Amino acid sequence: MKDKLKDFFKKDLVQYILKRVLMFIPTLFLISVLVFIVIQLPPGDYVSAHIAALQSEGEYVDADYAADLRAEYGLDQPVVVQYLKWVKDIIWTPTDSAFYRLNHSHHNWKYSFYYGKNVWSVIHDRLGLTIAVTSVIMIFQYAVSIPIAIYSATHQYSVFDYIFSVIGFLGTAIPNFILAIVLMYLSYKWTGNANVGLFSQDILANGINWGNFGDFMKRMIIPIVVIGTSGTCGIIRSVRAQMLDELGQQYTLTARAKGVKESKIVMKYCFRAAINPTVSGLGGILSSLFSGSTVTAMVLNMQIQGPQLYNALSSQDMYLAGAIVMVQAVLVVIGILLADIILAFIDPRIRYSGGTR
């Protein structure tokens, strides 16, 4: 094992990792520019949306008040100035600034207009619960879909292969929010409780622990079924197709002719090659851990990150929306790098430079 790891981390892979890390800077710069431009595309700004909401409630707002609000939030500056100040404060905020004295942080993500506090505080409030919820759902997806895919590939056109395929396609075809409403109704009819909605204040304030873990898992049953089944079909079909392709390769026929056990052929050789597309999607997985499923979370009234992004975009809270999208972009970039490293480890056919490893 030691020799294998030493062989794995040879010079070509190390150089590749360093090159990719150096590419983070221009990549994230371009992403930040695009994010800020897209957020600024809708007409008006947060103050305009806020004033329109006040006027819809019958309140009168004069032009001077609107101008003062724009000056207070820095929205009276040109877009380029707003972007440069946003990026500069995220990278480094001086020690003598009011933000540092108040928050003891050199990274100022600005102020959330919608929630009325620092952007990172808004994100942090739901970050732990978001990661917990999406992690449980992700574990369910892979724990269910990969064994089914292996079984379907090794028992092609069997009764259970057809049954699993139909269930998987139904999970993908039925919109998540409709399935969520149906399951909420059935849960209420059968148990008298929909078992969804706001998580307890104990979970929101202190996170998940052994004392509230049972309540958390009870409320997670419907989200797991709704969100989990929608993602299993893609994994099942992808891994199944790759497995079928590998099972028909010459090396598997040769291994069988030499008397190698079928289980070893399937798991050590075929599955190891078939899992490549799934590993390649690691970047999207890390991003989903941060954002959660927005529409389904709103239907189920789950206190995770997705609805926060929706509220930020609908109210034109550009700093909060920009921060969430930027963190997602960073996670995608990191996820792709991790996926490439894992692929190089599990698949000896992958090379990052000439020669052999």
Provide φ and ψ at 324, rounded to 5°: -65, -45
Q: Is 90 exposed, middle or buried (0-12, 13-18, 19+ CB in 10 A)?
A: buried
**The pLDDT value given to residue 297:** 80
**The pLDDT value given to residue 357:** 46
In sign, the C-alpha dihedral spanning 196, 201, 204, 209 is negative
How far is Cα 176 from Cα 204, in angstroms, rounded to an integer?
24
Contact (Cβ atoms closer than 8 angstroms) between residue 90 and residue 109: yes
Contact (Cβ atoms closer than 8 angstroms) between residue 265 and residue 252: yes
CA Rg value for the chain = 25
- Residue % of the chain over a pLDDT of 90: 4
User: What number is the average pLDDT over the span 6-11?
Assistant: 59
**The pLDDT value given to residue 150:** 92
* pTM of the model as a whole: 0.78
**The pLDDT value given to residue 151:** 92
Beta strands 111-112; 117-118: pairing state:
antiparallel
* For the chain, domain boundaries: 12-119, 120-346
- Alpha carbons within 13 angstroms on the beta-carbon side of residue 2 total 0
- Summarised one tens digit per residue, pLDDT across range 76-128 is 888 888 888 888 888 888 888 877 887 788 888 888 888 888 888 888 888 87
User: 356 falls in which pLDDT band (50, 70, 90)?
Assistant: very low
Give, to the nearest 10 degrees, the angle between helix 119-154 and helix 159-173.
160
**Listed ranges 132-136, 182-186, 191-195, 283-287; the one with the highest mean pLDDT:** 182-186
Question: Which residue from 260, 254, 241 is spatially nearest to 153, judged by alpha carbons?
Answer: 241
**The pLDDT value given to residue 304:** 81
The CATH code belonging to domain 120-346 is: 1.10.3720.10
User: 202 falls in which pLDDT band (50, 70, 90)?
Assistant: low
The whole-chain average pLDDT of the chain stands at 80
Residue burial 117-144, b: 16+ Cβ < 10 Å; e: rest: ebbbebbebbbebbebbbebbbebbbeb
Q: Which residues contact 1 (CB under 8 A, 6 or more apart)?
A: none
**The pLDDT value given to residue 136:** 83
Contact (Cβ atoms closer than 8 angstroms) between residue 153 and residue 238: no
Is a pLDDT exceeding 70 seen at residue 16?
yes
Q: Beta partners for 118?
A: 111
- Residue % of the chain over a pLDDT of 70: 86
For 176, 206, 234, 312, the CA distances from 281, given in Å and listed in that order, are: 21, 32, 11, 27
Question: Which residue from 34, 35, 53, 56 is spatially nearest to 44, judged by alpha carbons?
Answer: 53
End-to-end CA distance of the chain: 15
